[in-house]
Amino acid sequence: MTRDVRPFVAGNWKMNGLSGSLVEIEALRRAADAGEAGVAELVVCPPATLLAQAAWKIKGGKLGLGAQDCHPEASGAFTGDISAPMLKDAGAAYVIVGHSERRTLHHETDALVRAKAEAALRAGLTAIVCVGETRAERETGEAIAVVTRQLKGSLPPGGAPETVVVAYEPVWAIGTGLTPTAIDVAEMHGAIRALLDDIYGDSGAKIRILYGGSVKPANAKELLGIDNVDGALVGGASLQATDFLAIAAAYR
């Protein structure tokens, strides 16, 4: 923790988890309530099918609940999609938008990501807006320009520290066991911080910037100690409560 903001540690379960996995959410809730998760705001984002059941499990406790995507419209003829008000109704308080898997596999554009983030804010959800460069973009020295462009196109107007969290996730670090150097993370997070100040003025300074991409218990302390890293978005290592809690423990 390098700044005067509450750190934020979110787990993205992606398309993993059946009702049996709710025991992991129960374990996270117990740990969060007992203060074992350190000072961080701890949030779990299971698949949409588990949201309502998970909401019952965490009710009245300190664990937060998020979804992994939302449609930009509140309702309508969009077979298979789920809207932000539906997520809110199911018990979510957060929603991830613009994850690189959706940008790549579902061809989501910055404009669509922004529309989803705006829908999240309208529904009273906090949007976790994801950005990040590919391996090729990093190797050609374009990483900061790419992430700047993504953020300018994806961030919702009127965002505030309570309603927007940014997650910097280099695409080549997701699920690969690879991570950028501490110097590269610090440079990117510094650039994102400056951009947030430009876009949102004073409140930009308090918007949390997460690092995501192969965060594990073994590297959490180093990654989360870098300047302007206000938390983590964790994929694979969030599926087991013990690993996820060991990452959050970097903030104890």
Q: Among 130, 122, 112, which Cα is nearest to 87's?
A: 122
Q: How far is the CB of 65 from ligand PEP (least distance, A)?
A: 17
Dist. CA 215–CA 174, nearest whole Å: 9
Q: Which is nearer to ligand PEP, 75 or 176 (CB)?
A: 176
Q: Quick one: which of 6, 24, 94 has its CA closest to 239?
A: 24
Establish whether 71 is a catalytic residue. no
Q: Which of 24, 99, 101, 189 is catalytic?
A: 99
Residues at the site binding ligand PEP, with contacts judged by CB under 6 A: 12, 169, 174-175, 212-215, 233-237
Q: What's the CA gap between 3 and 64, in Å, rounded?
A: 22
Is the distance from CB of 73 to CB of 86 less than 8 angstroms?
no
* Closest CB to ligand PEP among residues 163, 179: 179
How many residues are listed for the chain in this entry?
252
Nearer to ligand PEP, 156 or 212 (CB): 212
Residue 73 annotated as catalytic: no
Catalytic residue (one of 24, 71, 169, 189): 169
Minimum gap (Å) between residue 10 Cβ and ligand PEP: 9
Where does residue 73 fall: left (phi above 0), alpha (psi -120 to 50 degrees), or beta otherwise? Answer: beta
CA distance 9 to 245: 9
**Least Å distance between CB 141 and ligand PEP?**
23
Q: Catalytic amino acids? A: 99, 169
